[in-house]
Amino acid sequence: MNLPPLIQTFVLHFGEMGSRWGINRTVGQIYALLYLSDQPLNADQIVESLGFSRSNVAMGLKELASMNLVMLKHKPDDRKDYFDTHEDIWDIVRNLVEARRKREVEPTLSMLRSIILEQPVTDVEKHAQKKMHEMHDLIEMLTRWYKEMQRLETERLVRFLNMGAKIYDFFQFKNKTDHPIETTSESD
C-alpha cells in the first residue's frame, strides 16, 4: 500500500472497522478508497493501491454493488469497469441503512411474523410469545417510521434532523396544553 498518509489512515481505519460493520477488511478499504477518490477507479487501480489479490477486489466490489454503495461506470475507449460512490452523501446513508435493514432486520421480522401465528401450549410458551409479539410490534413501528424518513428528500431530511430539539419542545408543549396540533387537514 502506497497512499498519501491522510488517505492511508482513513482507508486502514475503514478496514479495521469493517468487521464491526458486518463487512470485511477488503470491502471496508475498497469503499474508503473509492469514497475519497475524486474519480472512478478500476479494479487494477484498487489492487495497486491496496495490495489485495485481484479476485478479492472483484468480490469486494461485487458485495459493495449488491449493497448499492458503488456504481459501475465506463470510460470511452476503455473496456475496464470503473467504480464510484454516490455524489450525495445522504444517498450513501440511505443505501447503507437500507442494506443493513435487509440483512439485519428483515429476516428477524419474518421469523417473528411466522412464529406469533403458532399456538402456544404451556404458560412458558404463552409468556414467550407475548414477548415476541412485543418485539415484532416494535420493529414494525420503527420500520414504518424508517420508510417514511427514507422517502424524504435530502433537504427536508436535514431540516427535520436539525429540528430534533425543537420537536422535543413541541411535544412537551402539546403534552402540557393537551391541544391537538393542526398540521394538515388530517388530525389525530
Q: Which does 138 bind (CB under 5 to 8 A by kind): a copy of itself, DNA, none?
A: a copy of itself
Determine which residue in the list 14, 25, 40, 49 makes contact with DNA, applying CB under 7 A: 25
Smallest gap from Cβ 112 to DNA, in A, equals 22
SS (H, E, C) 45-71: HHHHHHCCCHHHHHHHHHHHHHCCCCE
- Residue 56 C-beta: closest distance to DNA, Å: 3
**What SS3 state is found at 72?**
strand
Residue 150 site contact among a copy of itself, DNA, none (CB < 5 to 8 Å, cut-off depends on kind): none
Choose between 39 and 53: whose C-beta lies nearer to DNA.
53
Q: 102 contacts which partner out of DNA, a copy of itself, none, CB within 5 to 8 A by kind?
A: none
Q: Give the one residue of 81, 84, 91, 98 binding DNA; rule: CB under 7 A.
A: 81
What single-letter amino acid sits at 83? F
* Consecutive H or E run containing 172: helix 154-177
Count CB neighbours of 29 within 10 A. 27
Q: Which sign does the torsion angle of CA 87, 89, 92, 98 carry?
A: negative
Residue 85 binding DNA, by CB under 7 A: no
Map the footprint of DNA across residues 151-180, applying CB under 7 A. Answer: none
Report whether 40 contacts 83 (CB < 8 A): yes
Using CB under 7 A as the binding criterion, the count of chain residues that bind DNA stands at 22
Measure the CA–CA gap between 62 and 186, rounded to whole angstroms.
45
**Nearest 5°: CA angle at 74, between 72 and 78?**
140
Residue 106 in the binding site for DNA (CB under 7 A): no
Site residues (CB under 7 A) for DNA?
A: 19, 24-27, 42-44, 51-56, 58-59, 61-62, 78-81
